[in-house]
């Protein structure tokens, strides 16, 4: 069993239910606009709008520059794709991704359709990098309170270049849709850090990733070690 008890519930899970703390996930955030904070600080809508426009222009230029550099490094023939459902070729990406997993939730195409496509409360977007028919990287995002929140992030072969290129494409997509930020909550052995290199990051202590194995053996030994896990925002009951 795994879960994300909040700060109030976490001590009881550990003391009473014999769960183990596995990891404090990392909150990754890339801010795209600052109108809200400026409005709260200054109280002057015109100043907030002007400051936000300057900030967005600077961010747009930085993203364009990084995009051009990553495209030069990665070569042509790679396209950015947006879908409303699981894109073609996903199971091949999942099989490549899971071959390097130790422990994670099973996330084949059927799982994603159940988890996101049939979610009654939110509409999710699949954002991917492709080369021909091959899916190189995938993120699943949802608009929550003006931010594009990423629920899943997979990159074939844990390729840092492809992961960062997808992150830049996702940020440009969010900016084009007038969103204020891109964010992601996750924990793994390092692939997320590589892909989200330009994002601010902090440990999230509000929801601790915990679990319990009921039988002795290999699973019980592997479970409490954070680097054995790949955990994403979509693994919790947040959306």
pLDDT value of position 47: 82
| Distance (Å, whole) CA 222 – CA 237 | 23
Rounded CA-CA distance 198/69 in Å is 14
The stretch 65-74 carries a mean pLDDT of 92
Q: Is the pLDDT of residue 36 over 90?
A: no
pLDDT tens sequence across 42-60 = 888 888 888 989 999 999 9
Residue in the block written with tokens 């194995």: 213
**Burial class, 194, CB count within 10 angstroms (exposed 0-12 / middle 13-18 / buried 19+):** middle
Domains of the chain by start residue, with CATH: 28-204 (3.40.630.30)
Question: What pLDDT band is residue 100 in, cutting at 50, 70 and 90?
Answer: very high
Task: Read off the pTM.
Answer: 0.94
């Amino acid at each position: 069993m795994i879960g994300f008890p909040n700060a109030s519930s976490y001590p009881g899970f550990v003391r009473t239910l014999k769960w183990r703390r596995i990891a404090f996930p990392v909150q990754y955030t890339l801010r795209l606009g600052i109108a809200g904070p400026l409005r709260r600080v200054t109280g002057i809508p015109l100043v907030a709008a002007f400051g936000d426009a300057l900030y967005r222009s600077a961010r747009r230029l930085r993203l364009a520059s990084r995009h051009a550099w990553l495209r030069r490094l990665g070569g042509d023939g790679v396209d950015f794709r947006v879908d409303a459902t699981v894109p073609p070729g996903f199971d091949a990406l999942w099989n490549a991704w899971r071959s390097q997993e130790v422990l994670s939730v099973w996330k084949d195409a059927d799982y994603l359709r159940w988890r996101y496509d049939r979610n009654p409360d939110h509409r999710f977007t699949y954002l991917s990098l492709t080369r021909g028919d091959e899916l190189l990287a995938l993120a699943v995002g949802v608009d929550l309170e003006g931010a594009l929140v990423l629920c899943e992030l997979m990159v074939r072969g844990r390729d840092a270049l492809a992961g960062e290129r997808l992150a830049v494409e996702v940020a440009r997509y969010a900016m084009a849709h007038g969103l204020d930020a891109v964010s992601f909550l996750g924990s793994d052995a390092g692939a997320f850090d590589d892909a989200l290199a330009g994002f601010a990051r902090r440990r999230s202590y509000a929801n601790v990733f915990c679990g319990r194995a009921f039988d002795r053996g290999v699973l019980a030994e592997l479970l409490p070690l954070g680097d054995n896990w790949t955990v994403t925002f979509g693994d919790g009951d947040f959306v």
